[in-house]
Structure 1
Amino acid sequence: MLTGLQIAIIGGDARQLEVIRKLADLDAKISLIGFEQLDFAYSGVVKEKFKDVNFAEMDCVILPITGTNSEGKVELIFSNEEVILTEDVLSETPDYFTIYSGISNSYLDTLAKKMNKRLVKLFERDDVAIYNSIPTVEGTIMMAIQHTEFTIHGSTVMVLGLGRVGMSLARVFDHLGANVKVGARKSEHLARITEMGLTPFHLDQIDQEVKDIDICINTIPHLIVNASVIQKMPTHTLILDIASKPGGTDFRYAEKRGIKALLAPSLPGIVAPKSAGKILGNVLAQLIEEDVLKRKE
């Protein structure tokens, strides 16, 4: 139980609704910031303006999956309010105050370190990333079907990256009957791709490997599908970039060449917000109880 804890939840998408329900059920007191356009009535949950929140009384804050931008601004979906996480805000908080975010950036990392606050990046946890790969894969399949004129079965699908999401994608598209090739850099990943019965290639050879593909799925948050790579793709190729913004694709050149390229980060929040929210809610409940509650006591 989270009885006695005060939690601030800032903005986010529909996944946050399940997080709110989970934490409220555990008897936490929750201040919602950036949700005024959303009808949500729940015991122990109040809507507040960011400027009115007393952060001295807060035990932790839960940011949207995307965290902040490079200036500390938090993107809000259900509000027009401006929310910027600053040193002044964190200076009011107790020593054990913890920041929870899906991902981070240099601004948020630096801010937390300077203010000596614990920063937990949820998507760097294996359990969250693996559970989250389930709705991500389903969403990717949905987009592949919607934006192609051929079946996945028998098509040639390239997956870039064999991380926790990349592995799930490669396995499922293989089970759907696609000819799957996977690009990676680490020798152990190339070995794993071979063990899975798929076609491995080193990312240094991507230019040669794209010449016969029908679908390219990128999970790497760096520019990997550049103009040189796109120039060698068949014109019917569909690029699905599911890496975090801004993705790893040269979208301008893809459009110039007539290749459909779609950036689709945060797929779980789009295709299965309820399931994705339950994953985050369960993990956050455990973390807050283990970390914040014990440190507060």
Structure 2
Amino acid sequence: MLTDMHIAIIGGDARQLEIIRKLSQMDAKLSLVGFDQLDDGFAGANKQFISTLDPAGVDAIILPVSGMNAKGEVETIFSGEPIMIDAKWLSGTKKTTTIYSGISTESIKALLNICKRPFVEVFNRDDVAIYNSVPTAEGTVMMVIQHTDTTIHSSEMVVLGFGRVGMTVARTFRQLGAKVKVAAQETELLARAFEQGLEPIALSDLRAHVESADVIINTIPAEVLKADVISKMPAHALIVDLASKPGGTDFRYAEKRGIKALLAPGLPGIVAPKTAGRILANVLSLLLAEQWEKMRGGTS
């Protein structure tokens, strides 16, 4: 239980509702910032503005999956304006006040460099990434169906990257009857792809394998789909880039060639916000319980 733990949930989207629901059930004291247009009521949760929330009483801060944008703003779909968290406000919190965010951004790093507060990048955890790979794969299937005029079955697909997301995506499309190749740099990942019945190809040989590809799905957060690779793709090819912004595709050149290229990070929150929210809520509740136990035991 999180009885008497004061948690500020600042901004976010529909996934935050599941987090609020879970933490409310655990008896936490919740301050909701950027939720002034939210109609739902949650026990123990109070709507606040950042200007009226006393930072000295906050034990933990939960930011959205996207963290802060380049302007240092926290975005929210439940308010007309984004929220600004400045160094003065954050410096007023306890030194043990922990900040939880889906990802780390340059603006968060800059703020933490000034304020020196504990920080947890939730999406960097294996368990969260693996759980999220399921709605990501389902959302990718949806996008491929919407943006192609052929069946997935018998289509030729190339999945770039065979990590926590790439593995689930490749396996999902293979189970739907696609002919799936997996491109990776690490030899152990190529061996794992082979073991799972997929065709492994070295990332350095990618140009030779995209000439007949119907769909290319990228999960690598680096520019791997460069102009020299895209130039070898057939005109009907579809690129779905799942990597975090700005993705790993030369979108300018893809557009010039008339190849449809879609940047689609954050699919879980789009196609299955309730499931994605529950995944985050379950992990955050465990992390917060550990933090609260340490704080009350005086070990922080």
Shorter-chain TM-score tier: over 0.9
Q: How does 1:88-167 map to 2 (within 5 A)?
A: 88-167=88-167
Gaps of 5+ in 1: none
Residues 159, 170 of structure 2: 8 Å contact kept: yes
1:21 CA drift (Å): 0.3
Residues 7, 30 of structure 1: 8 Å contact kept: yes
Residues 11, 83 of structure 2: 8 Å contact kept: no
Report Cα offsets for 1:193-243 as digits up to 9, x if no partner: 111121111212222221110001111122211222111111111111111
Report Cα offsets for 1:140-199 as digits up to 9, x if no partner: 111111111111110111111111000101111111111111111112111111111211
Report Cα offsets for 1:249-269 as digits up to 9, x if no partner: 122221221111111111111
Report Cα offsets for 1:260-290 as digits up to 9, x if no partner: 1111111111111111101110110010001
Pair 230,265 (structure 1): closer, same or farther in 2 beyond 3 Å = same
AA partner of residue 48 (structure 2): E
Partner residue in 1 for 2:69: 69
Q: What is the CA–CA distance in structure 1 between the aligned matches of 2:88 and 2:296, rounded to whole Å?
A: 22
Q: How does 1:28-107 map to 2 (within 5 A)?
A: 28-107=28-107
Partner residue in 2 for 1:275: 275
1:77 CA drift (Å): 2.0
1:73 CA drift (Å): 1.7
Q: What is the CA–CA distance in structure 1 between the aligned matches of 2:292 and 2:109, rounded to whole Å?
A: 19
Identity %: 56
Q: What is the CA–CA distance in structure 1 between the aligned matches of 2:110 and 2:295, rounded to whole Å?
A: 22
Aligned CA RMSD, in angstroms, stands at: 1.4
Taking structure 1 as the reference length, what is the TM-score of the superposition?
Answer: 0.96
Residues 96, 292 of structure 1: 8 Å contact kept: no
Q: What is the CA–CA distance in structure 1 between the aligned matches of 2:220 and 2:11, rounded to whole Å?
A: 26
Mean Cα displacement is larger for which, 203-212 or 230-239?
203-212
Mean Cα displacement is larger for which, 52-61 or 63-72?
63-72
Q: What is the CA–CA distance in structure 2 between the aligned matches of 1:81 and 1:259, rounded to whole Å?
A: 35
Mean Cα displacement is larger for which, 185-194 or 130-139?
185-194
1:7 paired to 2:7: yes
Residues 19, 281 of structure 1: 8 Å contact kept: yes
Q: What is the CA–CA distance in structure 1 between the aligned matches of 2:141 and 2:219, rounded to whole Å?
A: 14
1:195 paired to 2:180: no
Q: What is the CA–CA distance in structure 1 between the aligned matches of 2:256 and 2:6, rounded to whole Å?
A: 51
| Count of matched residue pairs | 297
Partner residue in 1 for 2:21: 21
Q: What is the CA–CA distance in structure 1 between the aligned matches of 2:51 and 2:205, rounded to whole Å?
A: 52
Pair 82,138 (structure 1): closer, same or farther in 2 beyond 3 Å = closer
AA partner of residue 86 (structure 1): D
Partner residue in 2 for 1:168: 168
Q: Secondary structure at the match of 1:3?
A: coil
Pair 211,226 (structure 1): closer, same or farther in 2 beyond 3 Å = same
Consecutive aligned runs of 4 or more in structure 1 exceeding 3 Å deviation = none
Taking structure 2 as the reference length, what is the TM-score of the superposition?
Answer: 0.95
Residues 97, 292 of structure 1: 8 Å contact kept: no
Report Cα offsets for 1:46-88 as digits up to 9, x if no partner: 1111111111110011001011123422122222334223321
1:113 CA drift (Å): 4.5
1:114 CA drift (Å): 4.0
Mean Cα displacement is larger for which, 224-233 or 94-103?
224-233
Q: What is the CA–CA distance in structure 1 between the aligned matches of 2:35 and 2:41, rounded to whole Å?
A: 11
Residues 227, 254 of structure 2: 8 Å contact kept: yes
Q: What is the CA–CA distance in structure 2 between the aligned matches of 1:100 and 1:293, rounded to whole Å?
A: 17
Mean Cα displacement is larger for which, 139-148 or 203-212?
203-212
Residues 160, 184 of structure 1: 8 Å contact kept: yes
Q: What is the CA–CA distance in structure 1 between the aligned matches of 2:51 and 2:296, rounded to whole Å?
A: 25
Partner residue in 2 for 1:261: 261
Partner residue in 2 for 1:244: 244
